[in-house]
Amino acid sequence: MAPLSVSVENQQRKETTMSAIRIGNGYDIHRLVPERPLILGGVKIPHDLGLLGHSDADVLTHAIMDAMLGALSLGDIGHYFPPSDPQWAGADSLKLLRQVNQLVHDQGWHIGNIDSVIVAERPKLKPHIVAMRDRLAEVLNLQVNQVGIKATTNEKLDATGREEGIAAYAVVLLTTAP
Ligand code: MG
């Protein structure tokens, strides 16, 4: 079998192409409890239960931040905003998102697009998706069409299906192009 050889020029071109995009994924889940607000994507959603957490427990925003950090191998939000630190008690997760976005920008990267899924049995999230996309796009200085949010139930299966919590998944593509 012939040895695998790539010209120096080709190798450099490949490395340039490789460094132009990075991808990250994030996941988070928080418990649903009484007497807490339900905040998703920075939007307060009317519901009889809310998410429990040290901050405002905005599970969608947390998943997106972890995806942004993950794309640059910068660790996770627990490292930057540890639950043990009282300054993050009740924190507005959008403020944390602004800081993570600044970190990404400081490293020379920009968000290409975000795609995300919220897993919640109740309440119906469809009426709130536009508001969440608007809010996140505003905070991240993006076009709304760069922020994808989908919602699904868990078909009554497992913890999210039993309404014990709400989970969120996010994928973020970063690019070096402005
Ligand atoms: Mg969280």
Tell me what pLDDT residue 149 has: 98
Tell me what pLDDT residue 9 has: 64
Q: How far is the CA of 146 from the centre of ligand 1 (A)?
A: 22
Q: How far is the CA of 85 from the centre of ligand 1 (A)?
A: 14
Sheet with 21-33: list strands edge to edge: 50-51, 21-33, 165-175, 110-119, 147-152
Tell me what pLDDT residue 88 has: 87
The residue written with tokens 């889940």 in the block is: 29
Asked whether the whole model's pTM tops 0.85, one would answer yes
Q: How far is the CA of 81 from the centre of ligand 1 (A)?
A: 10
Tell me what pLDDT residue 19 has: 56
C-alpha neighbours within 13 Å on the C-beta side of residue 88: 20
* Superfamily the domain 19-175 falls into: 2-C-methyl-D-erythritol 2,4-cyclodiphosphate synthase (3.30.1330.50)
Q: Which amino acid is at 172?
A: V
Q: How far is the CA of 169 from the centre of ligand 1 (A)?
A: 11
Write out pLDDT tens, residues 143-159.
999 999 999 999 999 99
Tell me what pLDDT residue 4 has: 64
Q: How far is the CA of 90 from the centre of ligand 1 (A)?
A: 12
Tell me what pLDDT residue 83 has: 85
Q: How far is the CA of 108 from the centre of ligand 1 (A)?
A: 26
For residue 83, is the peptide bond before it cis, meaning its omega torsion is within 30 degrees of 0? no
Tell me what pLDDT residue 99 has: 97
Taking 70 as the pLDDT cut, the residues of the chain under it are: 1-19, 177-178
Tell me what pLDDT residue 1 has: 63
Q: Please state at what angle helix 129-140 crosses helix 59-71, rounded to 10 degrees.
A: 40
Tell me what pLDDT residue 2 has: 62
Boundaries of every domain in the chain: 19-175
Contact 174, 24 (CB under 8 A): yes
